[in-house]
Amino acid sequence: MKRKTLVIFSLLCILLVFSFVLANFAGRSGISLNKTIYYLLHPFSSGMERDIIWQIRFPRVVLGVLVGAALASCGVVFQGLLRNPLAESYTLGTSGGAAFGASLAVVLKLSGTYMPVFAFAGSLMSIFLVYGIASRKQFSNSTLILGGVVLSYLFSSLVLLIFSLSKAEEVHGVILWLMGDLSSAAISVIKVAPFFIIPSIIVFFIFSRDLNILTLGEDKAAHLGVNNEKVRKILFVASSCMAGACVAAAGVIGFVGLIVPHFVRRIVGVDHRLVLPASCLVGAIFLILCDVVARNIIYPLELPVGVITGIFGGIFFLSFLWKTGRWRIF
């Protein structure tokens, strides 16, 4: 690893640790920074302040790290897989299916603990539908994108239909969830999410070299010995399941999977063996800092973190486009 790359990754790791501590410290309960660090290092201590950190803030921050890293790495894979700079975690209809599942939970009066289950089931349904459509066309880029877009519109229409037939108080929680929210983080969710996120990230690293070759085009990749259809299937299933788990755990959080890969490529280059780990770090940092802003910007009210990522992400991406002369990634 080059010295510059080593320095970049070291700084990102330091920034992640700093962001993690800041996210556990930031709040209106009056817990000092020294006490925050003490309770983080002594999880078996007692007291109300310890409970605030370990039962409320810590699960939320950990979920933010997991979801931020997952969404950013999904964005890297989808952009490389589809050779489309606008692709992100929800391009292939995952969020639409999850939203439909969550809406069904409300209609069946099973919201609360059952909402993540229904959301994940809806995302899996969307994944299988897109997979079935794309498999008939050798997993071509156009089929994946068109299938995902059409299913997103279909599920969005079904969600609006459910909303129009439901009472306002019933859909309020779903609307907040659809805007992206880490406040409902629970230990049960954190225990389940890594089983989908960590293995998928490992799969991404295993196929990072193949992903580099796929960005050259299908014909060149085939000549270099890459089984295009097999690699696409594996990466599609892994990334879609991980995106579905993120939506089920934290709702629809936009822009993380879109802007983070572009920012990282400007720093470490286009080699996915470097882009993937750097994107995981930057995605985690970005999301937990956005959540800090969402919790404190209009206290005592709390904004969904998806609102903050949308605002910051939109401003950043517009400035990125404005300053970039010739936008060429692949």
Give the tokens for residue 68: 């931020």
Q: What is the pLDDT of residue 264?
A: 93
Burial 43-81 (b: 16+ CB within 10 A, else e): eeeeeebbebbbeebbbbbbbbbbbbbbbbbbbbbbbbb
- pLDDT score of 219: 72
Residues 6+ apart with CB under 8 A from 161: none
Per-residue pLDDT tens digits for 95-134 = 888 888 878 887 787 766 677 788 888 888 888 888 888 7
Burial of 29 (0-12, 13-18, 19+ CB in 10 A): exposed
> Which pLDDT belongs to residue 51?
85
Residue 217, pLDDT score = 74
Answer CATH for 63-323 from 1.20.1530.20, 1.10.10.10, 1.10.3470.10, 1.20.1070.10: 1.10.3470.10
Domain ranges of the chain: 63-323
Burial category of 133 from C-beta neighbours within 10 Å (exposed 0-12, middle 13-18, buried 19 and up): middle
pLDDT at 295: 87
Closest by CA position to 284, among listed 305, 301, 302: 305
Q: How far apart are CA 22 and CA 79, in angstroms?
A: 31
Per-residue model confidence (pLDDT) at position 324: 63
Residue pair 33/25 in contact by the 8 Å Cβ criterion: yes
Terminal CA-to-CA distance of the chain, rounded, Å? 23
The per-residue pLDDT for 140 is: 74
Q: What is the pLDDT along the chain (330 residues), one digit of tens a residue?
A: 588 889 999 999 999 999 999 999 887 777 888 888 888 888 888 888 888 888 888 989 999 999 999 999 999 998 888 888 878 877 778 888 888 887 888 778 776 667 778 888 888 888 888 888 877 777 677 787 888 888 888 988 888 888 888 777 767 767 777 788 887 666 777 778 888 889 999 999 999 988 888 887 777 777 777 777 788 888 888 888 888 888 888 888 888 988 899 889 989 988 999 999 999 999 999 999 999 999 888 877 788 898 899 888 788 777 767 776 555 555
What was the pLDDT predicted at 236?
Answer: 84
Identity (one letter) of the amino acid at 102? A
Q: Residue 328: its pLDDT value, please?
A: 54
